[in-house]
Chain A
Amino acid sequence: MSAKAADLGEAASRPVYGMIDIDHLSKRYQDILALDEVTLEIHPGEIFGLLGPNGAGKTTLIKILTGLARPTRGHVRINGFDVVRQPLEVKKLIGVSPQEINLDKELTAYENLLIYGKLHQVPDLQARIEELLALAELTQRADHPVRDFSGGMQRRLLMVRAIMSRPRVLFLDEPTVGLDPQVRRSLWDLITQFKASGLTVLLTTHYIEEAEILCDRVGILNRGRLIALDTPEALKARTGGYTVESLRNGRRHYAFFQDREEAQRCALSEAQGVTIRRVNLEDVFLRLTGESLGGKAEA
């Protein structure tokens, strides 16, 4: 009786975890607070986008989630496992496509996948490698050294390598940085396929379009703080419907309006370089911080 009651009590008091649970997470590097009390829950099966300018803390957050960096304060759990105390359990669940292309350039595409597969003890490795080479459209180039590949090919290889061990959670840190629009779109298709297979994806980007097209929810990081968290639509709706962008004394100015007529009235009063457009996630960031994702601007 008492044992049963204790069991029930434990089950009742155990918190219900999301796929990724970030709880008051801070990371300090000497004088810089890279992450400041970030709390966030990412649901199973969603594509979650972390948006923010360079240096906002996106990569630091991914490093902590994937065991590359230790938090200064706070806790992180992936599928209920603590990343600091149960690192091996966590690493069995995750796949990472980092910002830097960290493939072995001297080795072939096949060898890169082979080593990664053995590291993660992937069953039926040969079949899995062939499957992934096909998915990355690299079957013909399997035995070529990666250094001869284009940027897009290297990114595709990096991304399929990340899903090799059939992870539950996939981390994509700036997956399309520096690629031309066509290649970027082909990678978006790949990410959409990942989502269809039930993967939870955490993606960092500073491309607005990428976040709007791919993500179910978006978190905006600025100077280590999570300053907004919602669906892209809800974030935009809160900012307004339309943006009037104008040029005054060589500087860009932005004004946000709920309806189009109001925006047009405002636009007519501006002297030069005026555009009216629908609010995007960049505007959300601008409204919240007074800065654009790429640098200073005035709202």
Chain B
Amino acid sequence: MNWYPIFLREILIFERRLLRLGYVVSALLMPLLYLLAFGLGLGRQVSIGAGTYLDYLLPGLIAMSSMINSYTWVANGLTMGRLYFHTFQVYVQAPVSPAAIVWGEVASGVVRGLFSSVILLVLGFLIGSRLSLNLMFFLALGVNCLLFAALGVVVGMRAKSHEDTANFSNFFIMPMAFFSGTFFPIAKMPWALRVMVRCLPLTHTNDLLRSPDWNGGALASLGILVAYSAVSLVLAVFLVARYSE
């Protein structure tokens, strides 16, 4: 499966933009703001469970930031490439399979998501947060990036304009960032809302990043994330395969 050229292109473009002054700041501004405002401001007066609020908040922000970065870049890149720059057409006219196109895009989304996560991790440690990092933590983080990058392909293939991707982000991605236990535990939510929130993938990522154990609950959460990813990937390949202008 010849996915590497697609990945390479995305990464070269990513690298060019990283070198541009202000890019890193703008891509990571929101999670950083949350980290500073909630972690250092509000967080000083709040404690959740045994640890400090910062310890609670950091995994949530990593989950959120990895989600937003994986999703946004892929969805925007595909929408713009398909509708405005016509660079997506180069892939379609090349002898590569739809699965290769999807995998190349998704892999580049995963790299972007992990990149933002690593920056937050480093920052978090610098301001004194403690996290238990183990294989499960990184596995959950990786699957989270994969899932939202694949969802980015789905939205990027369906969007009829740049606004469509922003709308999906406003109505789905952002509410999920707030209600999936990023800033406060879902245990205190009303029963009905809690059931809904349990269905959202990001809730499971948050659980896994906070307690990356190898118990039944964690494995179930990981299973749910993998299932969501598989469905998104299949849907993405289907949409690329039946692409027609």
A136–B179 alpha-carbon span in the complex (Å): 55
Contact code string A64-107 (vs B, CB < 8 Å = 1, else 0): 00111110000000000000000011011010101010111111
Contact code string B57-97 (vs A, CB < 8 Å = 1, else 0): 00000000000000000000000000001110111111111
Chain B positions within 8 Å of A296 at CB level: none
A194–B243 alpha-carbon span in the complex (Å): 30
Q: CB distance B95 to A111 under 8 Å?
A: no
Chain A positions within 8 Å of B245 at CB level: 63, 68-69
Considering only residues 89-138 of chain A, those with a C-beta below 8 Å from chain B are: 89, 91-92, 94, 96, 98, 100, 102-107, 111, 114-116, 118-121
Q: CB distance A102 to B94 under 8 Å?
A: no
Indicate whether A91 sits within 8 Å of B86 (C-beta atoms), given known contacts A68-B244, A115-B9, A121-B2. no
**Is B46 in contact with chain A by the CB < 8 A criterion?**
no
Chain A positions within 8 Å of B97 at CB level: 88
**Is B37 in contact with chain A by the CB < 8 A criterion?**
no
Q: CB distance A102 to B96 under 8 Å?
A: no
A35 CB to closest chain B CB, in angstroms? Answer: 13
Q: CB distance B87 to A96 under 8 Å?
A: no
Chain A positions within 8 Å of B86 at CB level: 98, 100, 102
**Is B189 in contact with chain A by the CB < 8 A criterion?**
no
Number of residues in A with C-beta < 8 Å to the partner? 28
Q: CB distance A115 to B93 under 8 Å?
A: no
Considering only residues 18-77 of chain A, those with a C-beta below 8 Å from chain B are: 63, 66-70
A14–B174 alpha-carbon span in the complex (Å): 58
Q: What total of A-B pairs shows CB separation below 8 Å?
A: 69
Chain B interface bracket (under 10, 10 to 19, 20 to 34, 35 or more):
20 to 34
**Is B12 in contact with chain A by the CB < 8 A criterion?**
yes
Indicate whether A116 sits within 8 Å of B90 (C-beta atoms), given known contacts A88-B95, A91-B95, A111-B12. yes
Contact code string A232-268 (vs B, CB < 8 Å = 1, else 0): 0000000000000000000000000000000000000
Chain B positions within 8 Å of A120 at CB level: 94-95
Q: CB distance B244 to A106 under 8 Å?
A: no
Indicate whether A118 sits within 8 Å of B5 (C-beta atoms), given known contacts A102-B86, A107-B13. yes
B79 CB to closest chain A CB, in angstroms? Answer: 15
Q: CB distance A107 to B16 under 8 Å?
A: yes
Considering only residues 1-33 of chain B, those with a C-beta below 8 Å from chain A are: 2, 4-6, 8-9, 12-13, 16-17
Q: CB distance B13 to A104 under 8 Å?
A: yes
Q: CB distance A92 to B95 under 8 Å?
A: yes
Q: Closest residue to A105 on the B side, CB-wise?
A: B85
For B13, B91, B92, B243, the residue with the greatest tally of chain A CB atoms inside 10 Å of its CB is B92
Q: CB distance A118 to B85 under 8 Å?
A: no
Q: CB distance B93 to A94 under 8 Å?
A: yes
A197 CB to closest chain B CB, in angstroms? Answer: 21
Q: CB distance B12 to A118 under 8 Å?
A: no
Q: CB distance B94 to A91 under 8 Å?
A: yes
A88 CB to closest chain B CB, in angstroms? Answer: 5
B9 CB to closest chain A CB, in angstroms? Answer: 5
Q: Closest residue to A171 on the B side, CB-wise?
A: B93
Q: CB distance B8 to A68 under 8 Å?
A: no
Chain B positions within 8 Å of A92 at CB level: 95
Contact code string B132-161 (vs A, CB < 8 Å = 1, else 0): 000000000000000000000000000000
Indicate whether A119 sits within 8 Å of B96 (C-beta atoms), given known contacts A68-B89, A98-B89. yes
Chain B positions within 8 Å of A89 at CB level: 95
A190–B79 alpha-carbon span in the complex (Å): 33
B176 CB to closest chain A CB, in angstroms? Answer: 31
A121–B86 alpha-carbon span in the complex (Å): 21
A107–B12 alpha-carbon span in the complex (Å): 7
B185 CB to closest chain A CB, in angstroms? Answer: 43
A67–B97 alpha-carbon span in the complex (Å): 12
A88–B243 alpha-carbon span in the complex (Å): 14
A123 CB to closest chain B CB, in angstroms? Answer: 14
A89–B94 alpha-carbon span in the complex (Å): 10
A98–B245 alpha-carbon span in the complex (Å): 14
For B89, B91, B93, B244, the residue with the greatest tally of chain A CB atoms inside 10 Å of its CB is B93
With beta carbons under 8 angstroms apart, the residue of B9, B93, B95, B96 that contacts A104 is B9
In the complex, besides A100-B86, A102-B85, A102-B89, 13 extra interface pairs with C-beta distance below 8 angstroms are: A67-B92, A68-B93, A68-B245, A89-B95, A91-B94, A102-B90, A103-B87, A104-B9, A106-B13, A115-B5, A115-B12, A118-B5, A119-B95
A residues sitting closer than 8 Å to B (CB atoms) are 63, 66-70, 88-89, 91-92, 94, 96, 98, 100, 102-107, 111, 114-116, 118-121
B residues sitting closer than 8 Å to A (CB atoms) are 2, 4-6, 8-9, 12-13, 16-17, 85-87, 89-97, 243-245
21 contacts between A and B (CB under 8 A): A68-B243, A88-B95, A91-B93, A91-B95, A96-B93, A100-B85, A102-B86, A102-B89, A103-B87, A104-B9, A114-B8, A115-B5, A115-B8, A115-B9, A118-B2, A118-B5, A119-B2, A119-B5, A119-B6, A119-B94, A120-B95
